[in-house]
Amino acid sequence: MADTPDFHLYQHKGFYFISGIHSAEELDKLKDCEIRDTDIFTITYPKSGTIWMQQILSLIDAKGDLSVTDKQLTSEQVPWLELTENAKNFASAPSPRVRVSHLTYYFAPQGLGQKKGKVIYVARNPKDVLVSYYHFHKVAVMLETPKDFNEFFDKFMEGRVCGSCWFDHITGWYTHKDEMNFLYLTYEEMIQDLKAAVLKICSFLGKQLDEQQIDSVVKHCTFKQMKTNPNANYESVPGSLLNHKNGAFMRKGTVGDWKNHLTVAQNEMFDQVFQERMRDVPLKFVWDI
Ligand code: A3P
C-alpha cells in the first residue's frame, strides 16, 4: 500500500471532492470549456446507475456487439469527466466526447445551457442511493469506511460525501433542464422496462439500431449479465483502490433495499427532509417494486 495516494475528502466551492482524484484547478476550468454539439454527458449522483449507463451507451455505440465493448473496463469506455487527467485532456479530446460525471450543476460547462451537447440525467430513489453508497464505502479505498450505518446515514443527510448533497445535486440539474438538451431517466424505470429506456436513449441521441441490435443491448445490460461481467465489476482494478473482498461493485441491483437498512426514525426523518427539499421540484420516485 506504500504508493496508495493520500485519499481524503476536501471541500471546493462548498462541494466535496477526493484529493488524489479530483483537482480543484481542473474542475474550475470545465465551466469555460467549449462544448460541441456532439458531446454527450451522463450525469448521476453516485450509486444511481452510472456503470449501467456506461454499459448501455458503449453497447449502443457498438450496435449491441459485446465483443467490441468487452475489451476494457466498462468505466473506461465512457470515461469520467472530472478525473484529473480526463478533465485536463477534455478540451483537446476528439469528438464525439461521451462522458459520465457526478459533478453538481455548479461545475457544468456553460455551453450546455446554450443547448450545445446532450445531457442524460439518471436519478435513483435516494434511500436506495444511500444504502448502495454505504456498502460502496466499504469497498472503495478512496472513501472512508463508515463506522456503522448510522454514522453514514448522518453523513449522507448532511451531504458530507463525494458528490455532496443528493438534494442539491438533483435540484441543481433539474431546475436548469429546460436550458439544455436534457433527458431525465430514473434507475427504477430502467429496472421496470429496460428496453423502453434503451429506446428512449437511442431516440434522444439520434441512434438508429434495428430490433436485434436493441435486444442485444438490453440483454447485455441486465443486472444478471453485468453481475458476471468482470469489466462491469471493476475486477481488474487493484486492491489498493477497490477492496474486492468487502463486496462486489454490482451488489444487489434492486429497488427498496433501504427497507432492510433504515430504522423507522431514520425513514421518518428522511421523508421530512425529502418533502422540504423537493417541495418545488415535481419529481416522483418509486420506492419499492
Ligand atoms: P446496488 O449497490 O444497490 O446494488 P453506480 O454505477 O452509479 O455506482 O451505481 C451502482 C449501483 O447500480 C449498484 O447498486 C449496482 O448494483 C447498480 N447497477 C448497476 N448496473 C445495474 C443493472 N444492470 N441493473 C440494476 N442495477 C444495476
Mutating to test ligand 1, I would choose from 42, 48, 52, 135 the residue with most ligand atoms within 8 A of its C-beta, which is 52
Q: Residue 169 sits in which domain range? A: 24-277
Identify the weakest region by mean pLDDT among 20-24, 34-38, 262-266: 20-24
Q: Is residue 48 part of a domain?
A: yes
pLDDT at 6: 82
Identify the bridge partners of residue 122 per DSSP, sorted by sequence position: 44, 185
pLDDT at 3: 59
First to last CA, the chain: 42
Residue with CA nearest ligand 1 atom 10: 47
pLDDT at 1: 46
Phi then psi for residue 260, to 5 deg, are -85, 0
pLDDT tens-digit map of 74-110: 989 999 999 999 999 999 999 999 999 999 999 999 9
Alpha-carbon distance of 139 to 178, in angstroms, equals 37
Is the interface score ipTM higher than 0.90?
A: yes
Q: Full-prediction pTM beyond 0.90?
A: yes
What is the mean predicted confidence (pLDDT) over 2-28?
89
Q: Is residue 17 part of a domain?
A: no
Total domains present in the chain = 1
What is the mean predicted confidence (pLDDT) over 260-283?
97
Q: Is residue 12 part of a domain?
A: no
At a CB cut-off of 8 Å and minimum separation 6, what does 237 contact? 73
* CB distance 124 to 253 below 8 Å: no
Q: Is residue 14 part of a domain?
A: no
For residues 67-94, one letter each, b for 16 or more C-beta atoms within 10 angstroms of the residue's C-beta and e for the rest, the string is eebbeebbbebbbbbbbbebbeebeeee
CB under 6 Å to ligand 1: residues?
44, 46-52, 128, 132, 135, 191, 221-223, 226, 250-253, 257
What is the mean predicted confidence (pLDDT) over 268-282?
96
What is the mean predicted confidence (pLDDT) over 28-39?
96
The CATH code of the domain that includes 47 is 3.40.50.300
HEC string for 141-180? CCCCCCCCHHHHHHHHHHCCCCCCCHHHHHHHHHCCHHHC
**124 C-alpha to center of ligand 1: Å?**
10
Q: How many whole angstroms from its chain centre is CA 58?
A: 15
Band of the pLDDT at 233, cuts 50, 70, 90?
confident
